[in-house]
A and B are shown apart, each in its own frame.
Chain A
């Protein structure tokens, strides 16, 4: 009966959308399944209303020569145990059935909407009382409450369905309340600007378009549940009494004749199931239509030509696959990462090449959206769904990683290349004790037994500077501070004694003092364990602290690469220079911090020429014309700028 309470749960998502009614309606009719359901429902309602006009027979006319017949020309849906025409009885029976369903729906929507509005506007204890009442209503099996009502109001289905409407009002109540609270907050923010608080009518005008869709969904769901419950009560013999028909009591009649004629079950139960199905599909259709119109409002996709131009911007020189450096631990050559969405693939990492030597700490610097994390994830073979390495080579310690079988790649991960991430707290399984998480890795990577693994966990926790390893091992992630969690994540990453540690913004989420401690720890471990580090960051202070070389990325491309001292002394790319100037730690005292104007363009909207040109103060027409190649500046330096000389001169 209320077995589907789960689906009367409010769909609060759409409640926050501001989709207008008209596009929703249009989207609705375009869905064939929804359109068919609407048509079917209308047909049933009209047929039931018009029963006296269209019914082939009288609902109570018996014919004992013609009982329990299957479908025939004379009786399209057959006859029942008293020889009455089933189609006629379904048409007449639908009247009481649909009326009590509509009654429950009207009560639920009216009471739920009113209570939701009141709770949303008044808040405070009114809200709390209504909320608790709704909880109590949902806590009991509805049918048992309805039995009490029916015990009191004998055979009065109208009373029972009125009560059921009240119980079901919990669904619309939650939806309307959520929408009301959202609108109220928005209006107060607007009102604060122009002074004066919003009146009731303004409130309603804003609220109406927002709640209409969700309330329609609720109405469909509530009607569906009410129809099942109402027919269920009639089936139990607690509603319409014989000889008068209703859909539910006709199923009961079919049940008592089940040994003689099974056909009787088909039209009687079938009409209930089909009507409920139609209501459910209408609800789903409205929900999807709202979601679609919302998506259409919000997402302005970049136009096709822009995307194509951006792809054409790959310079021929960058496309040349160079040979990997055999002396390097990690050698990345012309790696390109594409994201395949709904349209054509969009490049997010564009032909990136670099080397990391054994035992070296290498910095990968740039603002967010420049492709740093994507590059790091590509190395791990852990690109998010939809992203893929579209070209280039990744060679790690003599092994070609691109094209490695997933299982083999999985064996590299954790054991030879490990990673720690930006948010240490969410990178640990919240339901596992920290010690067990580390032990899980230790047992796999170092093939340890249970007891040995426990000893190793304590050893590692001590290595990462945790004061009380035995106690910490028993804690859950949520019981750790950010710094402790990052230390624990580091301990886990060290279980395989990896040759390369990828640290993606390892200190960004931490307090300043903890940042310094974790950096010290990283430097110390890098030395003692002879480990290489790829440090992904936007913070030059962190790079200066740890790295010997660094690479700057902008809009998917490498724009500069150099020894750390050279980068700080004489940046060759205006973006590098801008990042350095924007860093508070490195800035000269008593000077103004210079932020770079503008922001990183989204992948797919990259300019044809130099991608930094729109934000650059050195820009000339030449920069905008065609892609700029990465130029070598002797030794291990390279930069992607036509005006490197000027950058150097202007800063000296």
Chain B
């Protein structure tokens, strides 16, 4: 199914993502220019002598003009070198690479859970309507109102503190023990998926209702095609298109949500790395995380575009 047109589309999207990467990296660097205070001074502490500060500035390249700093960073970044953390003295890529797996695990888990549950709920409430439709509205309003960090803490209270079913915090790698791994990610995934489920359900219901009102559905009924076949083989395929479009936004939302959820559950992911780097003024790490997230967002949108193209014979209309 992947023809020339799809490959051309992928290449075009990749080219279009270069400006996004550029803008994000420049913005990140531009903000650094506004930094009040001196990173070297902060690292060394208040008792450092000016000579020590200058020496560290020199070592970190912080005394150079910003454009030069950006250019140097860019050249190194293209070679996969994002610098060294000002604190852990580990390479930024090493730091992020060792943690990205955790973040992707819970985000992908949440995407899967919210897609499966959301689509199922959306179908049921579109077809049955009535109280189930209203329930979807109420649940999505509550999902909207409850902040994910609070939801996570409520789940911890119930399932860890009260029932003792799963550990409250921490992460166990899959290779160590698949069972413990599942226990350690189940609450984070549910927390992260909560809002996504209602969002996907609402989107699925609305677009399915829209599709079910279209003339080709009447034509299928006139052909005697059973309702179940119309729903599952025709309507759903058409309704999937707007849902796929929205998945990009849902994914971006869940990626952002992971930053907070990792903190709630004490998971060693990129999000918690970014938070600690933020509070310690560790700019190379923050820049690295932004770059990684940007690349992930671009990759996900690319996957969604290809999926959209496969589902929609008319090609992407945007």
Contacts and interface: CB of A to CB of B under 8 A. Distances in A.
A6 B203 contact: yes
Nearest to A143: B256
Contact of B275 (A7, A147, A410, A432): A147
Contacts, number: 247
Contact of B215 (A412, A427, A476): A427
Contacts of A380: 221-222
Given A154-B37, A251-B153, A6 B250 contact: yes
A183 B220 CA distance: 41
Contacts of A184: none
Interface string A404-434: 0000001111110011010100111111110
Contacts of A7: 144, 199
B225 A444 contact: yes
Interface stretch (B23-31, B58-66, B70-78, B94-102): B23-31
Contact of B253 (A141, A418, A478): A141
A144 B259 contact: yes
A494 B208 CA distance: 29
Contacts of B126: none
A41 interface: no
Contacts of B226: 410
Given A149-B31, A265-B157, A429-B238, A415 B224 contact: yes
A430 B234 CA distance: 9
Interface string B273-302: 011011101110011011001100100010
Nearest to B195: A3
B276 to A, nearest CB: 10
Given A148-B31, A232-B147, A258 B314 contact: no
A280 interface: yes
A421 B215 contact: yes
A139 B223 contact: no
B313 interface: yes
A123 interface: no
A236 B260 contact: yes
A236 B263 contact: yes
A270 B17 CA distance: 41
Interface centre among B223, B281, B286 (most CB of A within 10 A): B223
A440 B311 CA distance: 19
A147 B259 contact: yes
Nearest to B253: A3
Interface residues of B, number: 81
Contacts of A5: 249, 252-253
Given A238-B279, A429-B220, A258 B196 contact: no
Interface in B216-249: 216, 218-227, 234, 237-238, 246, 249
B154 A144 contact: no
A616 interface: no
A489 interface: yes
Contacts of A429: 216, 220, 234, 237-238
A569 interface: no
A431 B260 contact: no
Contacts of B275: 147, 236-238
B141 interface: yes
Interface string B83-102: 00000000000000000000
B23 A476 contact: no
Helix, strand, loop or mixed for chain A's interface? helix
Nearest to B313: A476
B143 to A, nearest CB: 8
A445 B223 CA distance: 9
Contact of B312 (A224, A269, A280, A431): A431
A450 to B, nearest CB: 15
Contact of B252 (A141, A238, A273, A444): A141
A111 interface: no
B286 A281 contact: no
Given A4-B195, A255-B264, A277-B141, A141 B259 contact: yes
B314 A478 contact: yes
A257 to B, nearest CB: 11
A441 B229 CA distance: 12
B263 to A, nearest CB: 6
A144 B313 contact: no
A348 B150 CA distance: 55
Nearest to A274: B145
A136 B20 contact: yes
Contact of A141 (B32, B162, B219, B256): B256
B147 A151 contact: no
B116 interface: no
A380 B145 CA distance: 47
Contacts of B290: 144-145, 148
Nearest to A381: B221
A636 interface: no
Given A151-B277, A238-B278, A431-B238, A413 B223 contact: yes
A429 B218 CA distance: 10
Nearest to A428: B216
A247 to B, nearest CB: 10
Given A140-B294, A147-B275, A413 B256 contact: no
Contacts of B214: 426
Contacts of A1: 148, 253, 256-257, 259-260
A432 B234 contact: yes
B168 interface: yes
Nearest to B224: A414
A414 B259 contact: no
A265 B153 contact: yes
Interface in A440-484: 440-441, 444-445, 476, 478
A534 interface: no
Nearest to A135: B20
B134 to A, nearest CB: 13
B274 A144 contact: yes
Given A2-B253, A6-B249, A147-B289, 12 more contacts: A6-B253, A136-B23, A139-B20, A148-B31, A148-B278, A151-B277, A236-B259, A251-B153, A412-B224, A421-B218, A430-B238, A431-B312
16 contacts: A2-B256, A143-B257, A147-B259, A147-B289, A151-B286, A238-B275, A258-B156, A258-B157, A259-B161, A272-B147, A274-B145, A277-B141, A429-B216, A430-B238, A478-B313, A489-B219
Interface of A: 1-7, 136, 138-145, 147-155, 224, 228, 231-232, 235-238, 251, 254-255, 258-259, 262, 265, 269, 272-274, 276-277, 280-281, 284, 380, 382, 410-415, 418-419, 421, 423, 426-433, 440-441, 444-445, 476, 478, 489, 492-493, 495-496
